Amino acid sequence: MLNKHVALAIAVTLVWGLNFPITKLGLHSIDPLVLTGIRFALAALPLVFVIKRPAVRFRYVAAYGVIFGLGMWGAINCGIQLGVSPGIASLIVQLSVFFTLGWGCLVFNEKIRRAQWFGGALALMGLVGIIASQEGGHATLGILLITFSALAWSVGNVIIKASGVKEIFSFMVWASLFPPIPLFLMAWGMHGSAAFDGLPARLDLTAVLSILFQVYMATHFAYWGWNSLLKTYPVSTVAPLSLLIPVFGIASSMLILGERISPLALTGISVIILGLAVGLYRTPIVHTGK
């Protein structure tokens, strides 16, 4: 992998790591589904009026938008709202690496090595340890939601790769059109008007800054960078780079939110990181594009 792409990967994972505690700040005053809907509405508008639609089949754009907005970030935000700490959430989402490797094998005929199977087993053991450390059914449900979001992210990676899209930024902007309305309808269906009551008053400076970071850094910049890497390299090469996200996510959650992690959860985190390292970073990185 070229040095400029390594630097891009580090910048993207830093932004994504920071995004977890910053999203938590926004969730203090806004319903998680409403917050996610606002994020993607602003990611799409008004740019769709000035940016040409990507030259791919529109079903790829729509599918990615729904999976990315509802399946991934809607689930993550609900999981954090249910009590999962942002640092742990940033780690569990990295299970998408193993899901992505599986899709790469099934869809793109990429080979999965024995070490990767072993790493996946370790990560699963770590996840079980984290679930066991949660207190109350709500937090356990939150863990399951974030695990589901990891699966959704892996499917999104496959859609990007299969679409062959070249206009990555345009793809992200247009895909962001699809999540807001379903997210707002889901919020209304689950909580009625309470999810929207007094919303302007709840948009204090912290919430506004949280939303702006999610839109322009975590969505526009970070997903442009990540999907650009997916366009250039095999999914099995790009996916392991996400190991840096929980490093930044846990560190920034401790600094920004004062997050504390129980010994059992810390053990689970260590086992997952070990599994990711064993299963992924022994994989040779092969450059396949310019």
Whether 240 is in a domain gets the answer yes
Is residue 146 classed exposed, middle or buried when 0-12, 13-18 and 19+ CB atoms within 10 A define those classes? Answer: buried
pLDDT of residue 289: 40
Could you tell me the sign of the dihedral formed by the alpha carbons of 38, 39, 42, 47, in that order? Answer: negative
Whether 86 is in a domain gets the answer yes
- Helix, strand, coil: what percent of the chain each, to 5? 80, 0, 20
Note the pLDDT tens digit of each residue in 103-128. Answer: 767 776 767 677 777 877 787 788 77
Residue 221: domain span: 3-280
Whether 253 is in a domain gets the answer yes
Note the pLDDT tens digit of each residue in 178-234. Answer: 999 999 999 999 989 998 988 888 889 999 999 999 999 998 999 888 878 877 777
Number of domains, the chain: 1
Whether 264 is in a domain gets the answer yes
Whether 290 is in a domain gets the answer no
Contact (CB, 8 A) for 82 and 141: yes
The whole-model pTM stands at 0.80
**Helix, strand, or coil here: 126?**
helix
